[in-house]
Amino acid sequence: MANLFFYGTLRHLPLLEIVLGRGRETLDLTPTALPDHEVRGVAEGPFPTIAPQAGARAPGVLLRDLSPEDIARLDFYEGSFAYDLAVVTLENGSEAQVYFPQPGLWTAEEPWSLEDWERDWGALSCHAAREVMSYMGHKDRETVARMFPMIRARAAAKVNGARSKHGANTLKGRVDVARVDRVYANFFALEEWHLSHETFAGGMSAPVERAVFIGTDAALVLPYDPVRDRVLLVEQMRMGPLARHDRAVWQLEPVAGRIDPGETAEGAARREAMEEAGLELGRLEPVAEVYASPGSATDFFHIFVGLADLPDAATGVSGLDAEHEDIRSHLLDFDALMALCDRQEAANGPLVIAAYWLARHRARLRSAGGNATSG
């Protein structure tokens, strides 16, 4: 049996329970500290690192009598972050093992606070840990480490979902989930849910199976210049039309991108406008918060119109090489945009939503003139 000392996120008991796969009532936990070490946050993520520091004290908990299965689960989870075990002597005289980061892996910043982390990241980290641990025995830890940015993005979407604005005048019914099978996971995921749900007539439905595409939350923004009365659209090759055998595989769209964990929808819209089109946006006008296809996918869209200065030179080819983006931008006068929609030649749902929203609010935006593009 082994003893381990935890100084960071695994002091959060809900997370520790998920990683170990058992309840806190089965755990032998003792508060203590590791002398001559300090715990600091890292620039690369909302988690801590630990390093020797004479005279410092790293508070934490000692967990005794861990089984080989416990250690294997902890190694799988911590291994995704490139942490390895080493033996230390604690403040209370006990000997224990501690997960230390590989040298030079993280950039240490300010002292780390468990309370702050629990408030800001605890729920997201628990969702992410459930997915990580579901891969034990199926994927190696290096593969999970490569997947982790999308695992965190999927976890962030679940946290955001608990704060959604919609749902008025709908049934707050019961759903009994028998099991969930994740049949594919990489950049996206696909799950099969086995469930029954409350019906409008009362009682529960017969058992049903439903497949769900697991995506993330995204920000989409249609840049609009109220002075020149024009918009900017981006064009890129899209997999949906390709797989559907659409004759038009390159599509016109608003600027769009995933909302990163800890990022606001507004912040993501501004970041994506700069990455995809080199645009600095002024005021953002909220248009809609909607599911892309609620019958089969978790993708959730925050749609904006972003006021911007769009001279003739605003177009070009851009995108991030690291994300294999090849994006061309186009300028369309407002009338040309509406004609595109009226002819049903705009195949992108958020673009059509933003265009018709703009048609309704265009006079208000134009009445502000050049001042409308300020933040």
Give the pLDDT of the chain (375 residues) as one tens digit per residue. 899 999 999 999 999 999 999 999 999 999 999 999 999 999 988 889 999 999 999 999 999 999 999 999 998 998 756 677 889 999 999 999 998 888 888 899 999 999 999 999 999 999 999 999 999 999 998 899 899 999 999 999 999 999 888 888 999 999 999 999 999 998 899 999 999 999 999 999 999 999 999 999 999 999 999 999 999 999 999 999 999 999 999 999 999 999 999 999 999 999 999 999 999 999 999 999 999 999 999 999 999 999 999 999 998 887 777 777 889 999 999 999 999 999 999 999 999 999 999 999 999 999 976 555 655
How far CA 218 is from CA of 231, 259, 263, 267, 290, in Å, comes to: 20, 5, 11, 11, 10
What is the longest distance spanned by two Cα atoms in the chain?
77
Question: 25, 110, 115, 323: which one is catalytic?
Answer: 323
Residue 198, classified by CB atoms within 10 Å of its CB into exposed (0-12), middle (13-18) or buried (19+), is: middle
Contact status, residue 240 vs residue 188, Cβ threshold 8 Å: no
Contact status, residue 266 vs residue 359, Cβ threshold 8 Å: no
pLDDT of 316: 83
Task: Measure the CA–CA gap between 350 and 346, rounded to whole angstroms.
Answer: 10
Domains annotated on the chain, with CATH = 2-134 (3.10.490.10), 175-214 (no CATH), 217-373 (3.90.79.10)
Residue of 79, 71, 130 lying closest to 100 (CA atoms):
79
**Beta pairing class for 45-66 and 2-6:** antiparallel
pLDDT of 375: 54
Task: Measure the CA–CA gap between 123 and 120, rounded to whole angstroms.
Answer: 8
End-to-end CA distance of the chain: 59
pLDDT of 80: 57
Q: Write the DSSP assignment of 174-186 as a string of letters.
A: -EEEEEEEEEEES
Bridge partner list, 301: 218, 290
Hey, what's the torsion of the CAs at 238, 150, 300, 281, to 10 degrees?
A: -80
Contact status, residue 171 vs residue 200, Cβ threshold 8 Å: yes
Q: What's the angle, vertex CA 321, arms to CA 316 and CA 324, rounded to 5?
A: 95
Q: CB pairs under 8 A, 24+ apart, for 331-336?
A: 331/230, 331/231, 331/232, 332/230, 332/231, 332/232, 332/233, 333/229, 333/230, 334/229, 334/230, 334/231, 334/358, 334/362
Helix (H) or strand (E) holding 53: strand 45-66
Contact status, residue 61 vs residue 29, Cβ threshold 8 Å: yes
Residue 235 is a catalytic residue: no
